[in-house]
Amino acid sequence: MTMKKNNNSAGMLIILICTLFIFGNATGQQNAILNIGDQAPPLKYSKWIKGEPISSFAGSRLYVLEFWATWCGPCKAAMPHLTQLQQQYKDKVTFIGVGIWEKVPEGKPYESSLPSVEKFVKGNDANMGYAVIADNNKQFMGNKWMKAAGENGIPSTFVVKDNKIIWIGHPNSLDSILPEMLDGKYDMEAFKAKFSKSAVAARKQNAELMAVFTPLQDAVKAKEYAKALELIEQLKVKQPGYKTMMDGMKFKILLDMDEKKAMDFAKEWLKETKSASSVVLGDVYNRDGLSKDTYLWTAGSFGNIETLTNPVLLDALATCFSKGGDYQNALISQEKALELAKRALKDGTMVGSIMDYTVTEYQEKLKKYQGMVN
């Protein structure tokens, strides 16, 4: 394969999807009602997946609630260190991973995501050495904790003591803040003042973004594609920082409307934006019924298979090659995906992306492609 090479591409589609998904879940931030020092809401969940259940935030023990989702890369990256902290402070601190904001098919109840969350937790048992719960159909944890506090991004961490929320922030800050809390040196009022000030700025920024993106989301949901495309072009002028994301949405809409127009756009887009190949791949390889040329061009846009080092990317390329009828390159891509996945699992890299069952799935796909070639 000799087409344009792009090695730094894995994850671009995830960033695109997650950004849009977070915007869709952020409307509560404009009316935040939960602040530092307030009484903590109760824990309500669909299932306590792992660890010893608790019924309340009793006494002076610290409770660290880590809000995450299976699609969130930074959440996965934080898990091993959270496990270390739970072990380090096991006598004084209880860590609870709170699964929220999973994507579910339209019309399905939120708890239909529970099997995939349980599968993820089981596959990451060693990296999630703390209690884990999953949100319920009413999305109580996402609404009454995250949205109520004006938090619209994950990972996000809440610390509770004496049944009060005493801190909200990023898990990376726990290393410095937990010792202060345990030593009695933590100044909650000072942090509250700082948190409240930043929350005001965040609410203002979020209101501006929602005013821009809500009409586009509404048009897409209503399948008013011509209107959506017009809004995208307007947004690219008003919000140039979101151009790549807008072009990704444009490609997706065009692919729903006219495959040829979508691929013509993709070819021009890739000339100016290297990461475009990942966005195109994410939309193409998951679809059935496209032309063989579309599948093969998309796979070929990543260049020489042998130069690629991301097993998740290679697995997606194998699917694309297979749907395009190029079973030999599907086999080559899957072989390398399996090899790299085994190495990542052994070395403990790609936490949350490569698990025992991932390797098993890759092995099954490899057998399928071997049968197609032979």
In DSSP terms, 68 is beta-bridged to 99
HSE-up of residue 279 (Cα within 13 Å, Cβ side): 28
Task: Please say if the pLDDT value at position 71 is more than 50.
Answer: yes
Does 55 score more than 70 pLDDT? Answer: yes
**What gap in Å lies between CA 134 and CA 155, rounded to an integer?**
15
Averaged pLDDT score across all residues of the chain: 89
User: Is pLDDT of 18 > 60?
Assistant: no
Predicted local confidence at residue 7, as pLDDT: 35
Model confidence at 321: pLDDT above 50 = yes
Overall pTM > 0.85: no
> Quick check: 371 pLDDT over 60?
yes
pLDDT tens digit sequence for 113-123: 999 999 999 99
pLDDT of residue 25: 55
Sign of CA dihedral 291, 294, 295, 297: positive
Across 23-32, 145-154, 200-209, least confident range: 23-32
Name the percent of the chain lying above pLDDT 90: 74
Residue type, 325: G
Residue 27: per-residue pLDDT? 47
**Which residue in 131, 140, 141 sits closest to 64, CA to CA?**
131
Residues 149 and 168: beta-carbon distance below 8 Å: yes
Question: What pLDDT is attached to residue 28?
Answer: 45
> In this predicted structure, what is the pLDDT of residue 32?
59
CB 103 within 8 A of CB 74: no
Position with higher pLDDT, 31 vs 357:
357
Bridge partners of residue 159, in order along the sequence: 64, 167
CA-to-CA dists, residue 68 to 33, 93, 97, 117, 357, angstroms: 21, 19, 7, 11, 21
Can you give the residue ranges of every domain in the chain?
32-186
Which CATH number is 32-186 given? 3.40.30.10
When pLDDT is averaged across residues 233-237 and rounded to a whole number, the result is 90
Q: With bands split at pLDDT 50, 70 and 90, how would you rate the model's confidence at 11?
A: very low
pLDDT of residue 300: 96
Residue 197 has pLDDT above 50, yes or no: yes
Give the other-Cβ count within 10 Å of 222's Cβ.
10
pLDDT at 16 over 50: no
Q: Which of the four pLDDT bands, split at 50, 70 and 90, describes residue 296?
A: very high
pLDDT for 15 beyond 90: no
Separation of alpha carbons 129 and 132, rounded Å: 9
Does an H or E element contain 49, and which?
Answer: strand 47-50
Write down how long the chain is.
374
